[in-house]
A and B are shown apart, each in its own frame.
Chain A
Amino acid sequence: MIGFLLRRLVMVVPALFGLLVVMFLLVRIVPADPAAVLAGDNATVAQIEQIRQTLGLDRPLYEQFWLYLTQVLQGDFGTSLYSSRPIGADIALRLGATIELTLVSLVFATAVGMVLGVLAAVRRNSLIDYVLRFISVGGLALASFWIAIMLQLLLSMHLGWLPLRGRLPASLPAPPHFTGLYLVDSLLVGRLDIFVASLSHIVLPAFTLSLAGLAAIVRFTRSSVVETMQNDFVAYERAVGYPQRRIIMPYVLRSSLITPITQVGLMFGSLISGAVAIEAIFDWPGLGFYLVQAILSSDYKAILAVTLVIGVIYAFVNIVVDVIHGLVDPRISQKG
């Protein structure tokens, strides 16, 4: 297992390094001028030139890269061109919100997706199956930012059932920071009101974010259950006259749910992508929101940093999923 982990790390580290190189070069070869960003509204030409020198933008490229690399390896992403604050700290402040949102979406998508998938498989070719199959393709075809706006329009603006934006109403303080997840932190300090409020705030963004993943899980679960049900053993049991439910529950489910779980790694990628637009729409103060802000204000240092951090998280999740997969199915980790 340790060898397997090492092999995965050996693959991930060069990829992340390559990402850093590609992004760094892109930032440096484009015409837009970080110095102009920093100089602000009323800058004169001379001011911009001076800033360019203090930023080291007049030094050779390899020197700039080396400097940046050594900083990043120490966990220092520099200060934002926009707010002059340390980027690393600002990213850390936002991790909790994104993790909370993606986790809730992930759990929701997996749980509901599996139930619906099994339902579709068991009632194969019934009306429910057709509806669910349409949903499982349709969910992937929906623009999540559009459905988010539509649900916001209906449920928040017209009906007023759910909050429009944010993690908490302005009248409630954020719970003390333990995990960064308000749902957990509020319970840890016994503030049920904050828990309920943050639950009501997360419903819409998490639901819209989960749709694509939900569709995928329904689909995988269904085909995986169908496949298991058609193998010889089940066919035999059925022939012998076991009741349907007795066959499905203990045997089919156990053997067929492994496949969709392996999709979680892939799904996480789509969740992170989806979170960018969803967080922007719901003012959800996470990494995606930060990235969009950085993009709107041309804060290249922040864009670079967020991309790298997402890369690291993504790699980490994939390794974790692989490890779990390896534990469930030892053949994987031996193959490498």
Chain B
Amino acid sequence: MLILRRFLRDVPAVIGALIVLTLVIVAIFAPYIAPRLAEAFDSNLMMRLKPPSADYPFGTDGLGRDILSRVILGTRPALAASLIVVLGAMVIGIPLGLIAGYRDGWVSETIMRVTDVFLAVPQLVLALAMAQILSGGIWSAILALALTYWPFFTRTVYSETRRVRSALFIDALESLGASRLRILTLHVMPNVAAPVIVRATAGMGFTILTLAVLGFLGVGAAPPDPDWGLTIAESRQYLPQSWWYATFPGLAIFIVVLGFSFLGDGLRDLVDPRLRRSR
């Protein structure tokens, strides 16, 4: 409860949490919230490129679809895809980090050298190349991002595990005959959980951003998906007249990513007060 109270005093973190909460609710109920569900996907050739109005608050796009509804529906793929990426990266990255951190010798060494391979190139560049080679599309993008993101978790878990292991109580447990699996799950995992959660929260926002870039460059989501990055790419040929076309999806990305960043910062402050921003 003390923790909760401390969290509530952190204004940006609370804002972040509210944004993320709203995002999740909007994503779940998107079809009910979108004011013009039918016009989100059906082209309406008579209503192309209309500026924002009371009927179409965000205007319409190049096929006469309602941009507000599409931005709302876009919360789903954004949230779902980045959730899959982050969970996928955690599923690969955490066990490897635990093993590498807990064991010594060649196993640990090999795992960490493999993470080097995937960190040898900035993540976006590697993901971009991989997504294209895997022939594009949203699933290629998701796979490519998960495949390039796991090393970050491995690294985090590895160093935390090392720290915990060098604490005396693990040696004590081992000498008492506790099994390795038991030690890892019951004693090490809880200690690693906090930094992992912090990283995953910030990672959600970061992944939404990266997915948008992939969509923008044409190797992620595909039409007619209401993907935000893709919409911005589609809008370019209608500039400068149709300014609303790119503006609103971009704002949506900004707000959502901002939400995850604020929340991630707040969580980190709770977990690791040494790093508090606002002393």
- For the A-B complex, the count of residue pairs with Cβ-Cβ distances under 8 Å equals 148
The reply on B240 being an interface residue by CB < 8 A is: yes
Contact with A along B95-132 (1 / 0, CB 8 A): 00000000000000000011011011111111011101
**A residues within 8 A CB of B119?**
15
The 9 closest A-B CB pairs, nearest first, are A18-B117, A146-B250, A273-B124, A141-B257, A15-B116, A157-B240, A141-B258, A269-B122, A273-B122
The reply on A67 being an interface residue by CB < 8 A is: no
The reply on A39 being an interface residue by CB < 8 A is: no
Contact with B along A137-158 (1 / 0, CB 8 A): 1101111011101101100011
The reply on A165 being an interface residue by CB < 8 A is: no
A310 B125 Cβ-Cβ under 8 A:
yes
Q: Which residue of B lies closest to A125 (CB)?
A: B278
The reply on B265 being an interface residue by CB < 8 A is: yes
Provide the bound-state CA to CA distance between A305 and B67, in Å.
39
Q: Which residue of B lies closest to A152 (CB)?
A: B239
Provide the bound-state CA to CA distance between A311 and B119, in Å.
9
B246 A150 Cβ-Cβ under 8 A:
yes
Provide the bound-state CA to CA distance between A223 and B12, in Å.
17
**B residues within 8 A CB of A143?**
209, 212-213, 216, 229, 232, 250, 253-254, 257
Contact with B along A1-39 (1 / 0, CB 8 A): 000000000011011101100110011001110000000
Which of A30, A143, A219, A310 has the most chain B CB atoms inside 10 A of its CB? A143
The reply on B58 being an interface residue by CB < 8 A is: no
Contact with A along B247-268 (1 / 0, CB 8 A): 1011001100110011001000
Chain A binding surface SS class: helix
**B residues within 8 A CB of A296?**
218
Provide the bound-state CA to CA distance between A269 and B239, in Å.
31
Task: From B126, B129, B258, B277, give the contact of A223 (CB < 8 A).
Answer: B277
The reply on A226 being an interface residue by CB < 8 A is: yes
**B residues within 8 A CB of A272?**
122, 125
The reply on B279 being an interface residue by CB < 8 A is: yes
Chain A nearest CB from B205 CB (Å) reads 7
**B residues within 8 A CB of A277?**
213, 216-217
The reply on A280 being an interface residue by CB < 8 A is: yes
A27 B122 Cβ-Cβ under 8 A:
no
**B residues within 8 A CB of A19?**
117, 120-121
Which residues from 279 to 329 on chain A have a C-beta closer than 8 Å to any C-beta of chain B?
A: 280, 291-292, 295-296, 298, 300, 303-304, 306-307, 310-311, 314-315
Supposing A133-B277, A276-B124, A307-B126 touch, asked if A145 and B216 sit within 8 A by C-beta, the answer is: yes
Task: From A32, A141, A146, A223, give the contact of B261 (CB < 8 A).
Answer: A141
Provide the bound-state CA to CA distance between A153 and B239, in Å.
7
Chain B binding surface SS class: helix
Which of A125, A145, A226 has the most chain B CB atoms inside 10 A of its CB? A145
Chain B nearest CB from A25 CB (Å) reads 10
Provide the bound-state CA to CA distance between A204 and B114, in Å.
38
Q: Which residue of B lies closest to A144 (CB)?
A: B213
The reply on A126 being an interface residue by CB < 8 A is: no
Contact with A along B214-241 (1 / 0, CB 8 A): 0011110000000001001001100110
Provide the bound-state CA to CA distance between A141 and B250, in Å.
11
Task: From A280, A307, A314, give the contact of B217 (CB < 8 A).
Answer: A280
Interface size of A in residues (CB-CB distance below 8 Å): 57
The reply on B56 being an interface residue by CB < 8 A is: no
Interface residues of B (CB under 8 A from A): 12, 113-114, 116-117, 119-126, 128-130, 132-135, 205, 209, 212-213, 216-219, 229, 232, 235-236, 239-240, 243, 246-247, 249-250, 253-254, 257-258, 261-262, 265, 275, 277-279
A137 B121 Cβ-Cβ under 8 A:
no
A298 B132 Cβ-Cβ under 8 A:
yes
Provide the bound-state CA to CA distance between A277 and B130, in Å.
16
Supposing A14-B113, A150-B247 touch, asked if A138 and B258 sit within 8 A by C-beta, the answer is: yes
A18 B258 Cβ-Cβ under 8 A:
no
A14 B125 Cβ-Cβ under 8 A:
no
The reply on A42 being an interface residue by CB < 8 A is: no
Task: From A12, A150, A153, A303, give the contact of B132 (CB < 8 A).
Answer: A303
**B residues within 8 A CB of A145?**
212-213, 216, 229, 232
Q: What 6 new A-B contacts, CB under 8 Å, besides A15-B113, A295-B218?
A: A16-B120, A23-B129, A141-B261, A146-B232, A276-B128, A307-B121
Provide the bound-state CA to CA distance between A158 and B232, in Å.
18
The reply on A230 being an interface residue by CB < 8 A is: yes
A226 B250 Cβ-Cβ under 8 A:
no
